[in-house]
Amino acid sequence: MTATTTEPQAGAPSLTVSGCCAPAASGVADDSAQALAAMFKALADPARVKIVSMLLNADEVCACDVSALIGKSAATTSHHLKLLRAAGLVRSERRGTWVYYTVVPERLQAIAAAVQPVPGR
Amino acid sequence: MTATTTEPQAGAPSLTVSGCCAPAASGVADDSAQALAAMFKALADPARVKIVSMLLNADEVCACDVSALIGKSAATTSHHLKLLRAAGLVRSERRGTWVYYTVVPERLQAIAAAVQPVPGR
DNA sequence: TCGTTGATTCGATGGACATCGAATCAGATC
DNA sequence: GATCTGATTCGATGTCCATCGAATCAACGA
């Protein structure tokens, strides 16, 4: 496995059903709901929220800094980064001894779009 | 407890630090991260994603319909609705025998804003 | 080649949560 | 008041997860 692992690149599902008028608010499909819930779950921890916050304010962050900034052990930090990577929200790149993390903007924008209210409502 | 319980109405925290230049990507404050993580956790379940999806596509939904649409028991449905209410993402209103749920747009927009990349980046 | 340092994985543990059946509460109707 | 129906709460249970210490892996420098 190389530095950047293969992550899910699902086409952004939206909470607002893209098709036509549902009979009585059918809602999103089962698999879409599952995919979205997985992304939300990846952010459902203060430590991971902080990590993504850091990445949003600096294009890349060294893993060695993450541990100190979230105040957790190296093992726990690696665990959180792994979950974020698995959710496709961040990417990792090894340069020599250090590993740098960057955000995946498309995925975050997908989340933003998912919770946006229907325009015509 | 009346129909509409008291829910958190925290001013939308943002993952992008609103203040000035952080020394080296300090990230969001501890309490803001916690508040955001709580909102994400409220959506970290397919059933709750479906519920919010329904509410985004219909201005209000009867609790009696929710149970059928997510395919869970009434008790479980009530549990999920309670969590969404506690997170301030939905509101409930009792009208006679039935309870109707509506989305809280500000809160969802807060989530959307939180994962939005910094404009000037 | 060896020791050093950073990153990840492994194993264990304590706590949180999704789920449901049963019980209870809240209105409405008779 | 009695009863019916919908909504919520309670208690129990099985599973998932956050956390850390220890072990392992990866790259670099002496």
* Strand pairing report for B61-62 and A90-95: unpaired
- How far is B43 from chain A, CA to nearest CA, in Å? 6
* pLDDT score of A64 more than 60: yes
- Give the dihedral of Cα atoms A95, A98, A99, A105; nearest 10 deg: -80
A51 touches strand D (CB under 7 A): no
Q: Which tops the pLDDT comparison, A112 or A12?
A: A112
- How far is B38 from chain A, CA to nearest CA, in Å? 6
Pinpoint the alpha helices (H) of chain B. 30-42, 46-57, 63-70, 74-86, 105-114
What integer is the mean pLDDT of B24-31?
A: 68
Which pLDDT belongs to residue B118? 74
Distance CA B111, CA A87 (A): 17
| Nearest-CB residue to B44 (from A17, A40, A118) | A40
Task: Round and report the angstrom distance from CA (B93) to C1' (D21).
Answer: 50
**What is the per-residue pLDDT across A26-50, written as a single tens digit (0 to 9) for each?**
667 788 899 999 999 999 999 999 9
**Alpha-carbon distance values, A57 to A12, B3, B17, B108, B115 (Å):** 23, 41, 7, 22, 11
Instruction: Report the helix count and the strand count for chain A, using DSSP H and E.
Output: 5, 3
Is A116 close to B116, i.e. CB distance below 8 A?
A: no
Distance CA B47, CA A69 (A): 33
Give me the sign of the Cα torsion angle A86, A88, A90, A94.
Answer: positive
What integer is the mean pLDDT of B88-107?
A: 95
Distance CA B64, CA B92 (A): 13
Q: Which residues, other chains included, contact B65 with Cβ-Cβ below 8 Å and sequence gap of 6+?
A: A24, A25
* pLDDT score of A101 more than 60: yes
* pLDDT score of B35 more than 90: yes
What integer is the mean pLDDT of B36-45?
A: 97
